[in-house]
Amino acid sequence: MESQSLKGSIQTTIENKIATIEFEHPASNSLTQELLHKVASELTILSTNPAISVVILKSSGTGVFCAGASFDELLAVSNLDQATKFFSGFAHLLNAMRTCSKVIIGRVHGKAVGGGLGIIAACDYVFATMDSSIKLSELSIGIGPFVIEPALSRKMGKAATAALTLASNEWKDSEWAKSSGLFTKVFAGQVTLDKELVQFSTKLATYNPEAVSEIKKILWEGTENWETLLYERAAISGKLALSEYTKRALQEFKK
């Protein structure tokens, strides 16, 4: 199935008990509210599909994996309700990934920034390439990675999350991301990555789906408070996004 718009599109394919969700946006696969909602909704549907055992989450193209939040939409917000709603889209998606009964494998083919790191962190297993460097630029534009921080800290720990957050203009390479726990495996290129991804996901899809689902529940124990925490964090981000500092920084960053 496929859903398209100027605000981004997703396409889902199902084969051999493996569902692949591919999201796309012309602005370096950035995340609009509509795109966040579509991916979250698709995961909710797949979660209850007995014909599916594994979900692969990927983005389109061969360049940037995900540029994070849509700057155009962020610049367009004019009040706290709008700003909070925007960041709540990330909260909604992370919770959909957390509660999905299927194991989610992330396929990261290039650079990832901001909210894109939150999506990677919420995957259960991540394949990446050597080109998949990462950066959290939020502090440099007057906000912070408040909504995605729980996902990053769960996967990487507080120390690595702090290293990313405070050095907001610094890129970390794929080996750093792997050693910090964000990536599971790193490959020289996409051809090798995809070969290994097919083998791994195909094997995983043969396991007892009930056992895999129960394992996922255990791996995500202690995150039940995300149902409220992430939306509280969205309000913090929303408030900061309305500041003059952030508005100016976004304009400069966009240039």
pLDDT at 1 over 70: no
pLDDT at 248 over 90: no
- Which of 1.10.3720.10, 3.90.226.10, 3.40.50.720, 1.20.1050.10 would CATH assign to domain 2-204? 3.90.226.10
Domain chopping of the chain, boundaries = 2-204
The per-residue pLDDT for 3 is: 40
Distances (CA, A) of 47 to 70, 196, 242: 27, 24, 36
Report the amino acid identity of residue 204: L
Average pLDDT across the chain, whole number: 94
Q: 31: which residues sit within 8 A by CB, 6+ positions away? A: 8, 25, 66, 68, 69, 70, 89, 90, 115, 116
The per-residue pLDDT for 249 is: 83
pLDDT at 253 over 90: no
Across 78-106, average pLDDT: 96
Backbone dihedral region of 157: left (phi > 0), alpha (psi from -120 to 50 degrees) or beta? Answer: left
pLDDT at 255 over 70: no
CA 249 to mean position of chain CA atoms: 23
* Per-residue pLDDT reduced to its tens digit, 6-52: 578 999 999 999 999 999 999 999 999 999 999 999 999 999 999 99
Which of the four pLDDT bands, split at 50, 70 and 90, describes residue 2? very low
The per-residue pLDDT for 160 is: 98
- CA–CA gap between residue 152 and residue 157 (Å, rounded): 7
* 8 Å CB contact between 156 and 182: yes
